[in-house]
């Protein structure tokens, strides 16, 4: 794959994710892909497990959005610096509740083969979300109480 093809796959992925179009998301992944969420310690193998992970992500944060900020490409690998945003709660029209919106930096490392993504690892700061929506003290107290 050349740089333009890789950029197009990434553009298709982020566009589909932001439109909550699962079919188009899965179309840019190899059926036997590895998708790793380093922060959560989760490894999804194949598009069936990836599909379940996507559904869970949208259920937990239905206003989830990904904005690529910078894409670095080396051969058939890419690193993407991005901003993830979302809301833990939405109203009946699907709009985020005020005070529940979060926005955090993230990094993705991606490998391509035969025109699709076959390996992807994401890394982000889990404590940034509760801090932004006012849950930080609760999370810290839960962690401390489990010591």
What are the pLDDT digits (tens) for 45-80? 999 999 999 998 887 777 889 999 999 999 999 999
Pick from 121, 34, 115, 112: nearest CA to 76: 112
Answer yes or no: is pLDDT of 111 > 80.
Answer: yes
Find the helix or strand (DSSP H, E) in which 67 lies: strand 65-74
CATH 3.40.50.10420 fits 3-145, yes or no: no
CA distances to 13, 24, 69, 79, 123 from 21, in Å: 9, 6, 21, 23, 22
Average pLDDT over residues 84-110: 75
Answer whether 83's CB lies under 8 Å from 67's CB: yes
What are the pLDDT digits (tens) for 113-146? 999 999 999 998 766 666 666 655 544 555 555 5
pTM of the model: 0.80
């Amino acid at each position: 794959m050349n740089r333009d093809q890789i950029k197009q796959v990434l553009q298709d992925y982020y566009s589909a994710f932001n439109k909550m179009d699962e079919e188009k998301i899965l179309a840019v992944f190899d059926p036997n892909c590895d998708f790793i969420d380093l922060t959560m310690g989760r490894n999804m193998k194949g598009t069936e497990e990836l599909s379940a992970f996507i559904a869970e992500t949208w259920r937990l944060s239905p206003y989830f959005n990904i904005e690529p900020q910078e894409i670095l490409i080396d051969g058939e690998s890419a690193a993407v610096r991005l901003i993830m945003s979302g809301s833990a709660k939405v109203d009946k029209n699907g709009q985020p509740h005020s005070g529940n919106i979060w926005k955090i930096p993230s990094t993705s490392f991606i490998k391509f083969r035969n025109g699709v993504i076959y390996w992807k690892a994401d890394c982000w700061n889990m404590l940034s979300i509760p801090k932004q929506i006012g849950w930080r003290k609760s999370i810290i107290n839960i962690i401390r109480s489990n010591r």
